[in-house]
Structure 1
């Protein structure tokens, strides 16, 4: 005679094999998939885990991010190219024209005359353009004399300032397609809507505005 364990059907404890056993209880299925046995039985879900609409909840609306970011390596390349040109061009000889980093995003351009200092700024701008960097991402002060040297303090703009972000959000709200939303997230914005075509309309809208800031549109999904 077989032992008691051998004669009992599998799952004597009342828990049928998971998944797909003959006694599988559909009431224990949950949107988070059939692998979570404990969660299924605790929650008592009835949703079909094979359903796309219930597996992870509703699908998020299409969205993209509005950012203002500059590749620092490309700025560094532009700076090095400008420094090389300043050291070799005939019209910059004898005026000690220089361009150098003065911090993480700060740049100093200098020369012994105001005119050559301003000319050095233009050389640096030309190199930025050649590296694909918008001049809206670079700000430069007027030359200031320090001893015998004229210095220009400049900076690379990273991120969207709070007031500018509010301006962009207002443009989207007032002039963008109905149903599109813009949420400020730190130094960038997240734009979302029901239709991808509407998001493309927002991108076109912002590209057509003169916002005095270099914008990029990323994470489109």
Structure 2
């Protein structure tokens, strides 16, 4: 029976490349000369450091522009609170979301069931599997999910025919 998985995962290789490019731009920019502005990547967490909250905003802007250029959706970013560290320096933890949370997965299943399409949706861990009798039904379900679920960056993979 044809099926596909609906997932929400950031490409970590592109995130790492965007982080490297952002750090390179930060070190060469004139307005960051002599400051401790940088971005560190540890597994799924980005930590932005700067001398002031204004500079921290600039560092975030540089990072988001590099992510967008590398086709990484900024909806994957979960921006934390600004924390003060020693003196005037500040830091901010930015988490990279992975997987579909249970509430969002239930919403996707409800949307598929309410559409009256000839497909079924089931939650498989942090993904939602959509199965149907025909490939055309699955493609229509993909188009409908792209339109209906705008708050999550959805990807469709593991398509089986």
Three-state SS of the structure 1 residue aligned to 2:148 is coil
Three-state SS of the structure 2 residue aligned to 1:153 is strand
Q: Looking at both structures, which has the greater relative contact order when contacts are Cα pairs under 8 Å and sequence separation is at least 6?
A: 2
> Contact 1:95–1:116 at 8 Å: present in 2 too?
no
Offset from partner CA, 1:30-89 (integer Å, 9 cap, x none): xxxxxxxxxxxxxxxxxxxxxxxxxxxxxxx21111011122111100000001111111
CA distance in 2, matches of 1:139, 1:126: 16
> Contact 2:2–2:133 at 8 Å: present in 1 too?
yes
Report the structure number with the largest CA radius of gyration. 1
Shift, 1:166, TM fit: 0.8
CA distance in 2, matches of 1:180, 1:92: 53
> Contact 1:176–1:205 at 8 Å: present in 2 too?
no
Three-state SS of the structure 1 residue aligned to 2:156 is strand
Alignment of 1:190-201 (within 5 A): 190-201=129-140
Say whether 1:160 aligns with 2:100: yes
> Contact 1:107–1:154 at 8 Å: present in 2 too?
yes
Shift, 1:96, TM fit: 1.4
Report the counterpart of residue 155 of structure 2 in structure 1: 216
Where structure 1 has 5 or more consecutive residues not aligned to the other structure, the ranges are 1-60
Structure 2 residue corresponding to 1:74, chosen from 14, 38, 42: 14
Report the counterpart of residue 172 of structure 1 in structure 2: 112
Alignment of 1:88-103 (within 5 A): 88-101=28-41, 103=42
Which of structure 1's runs of 4+ aligned residues deviate more than 4 A?
none
Report the counterpart of residue 85 of structure 2 in structure 1: 146
Three-state SS of the structure 2 residue aligned to 1:119 is helix
| Equivalences, count | 159
Three-state SS of the structure 1 residue aligned to 2:84 is strand
Shift, 1:176, TM fit: 5.0
> Contact 2:80–2:95 at 8 Å: present in 1 too?
no
CA distance in 2, matches of 1:90, 1:140: 26
Shift, 1:144, TM fit: 2.2
CA distance in 2, matches of 1:95, 1:140: 22
TM-score by length of 1: 0.69
Shift, 1:159, TM fit: 0.9
> Contact 1:144–1:151 at 8 Å: present in 2 too?
yes
TM-score by length of 2: 0.93
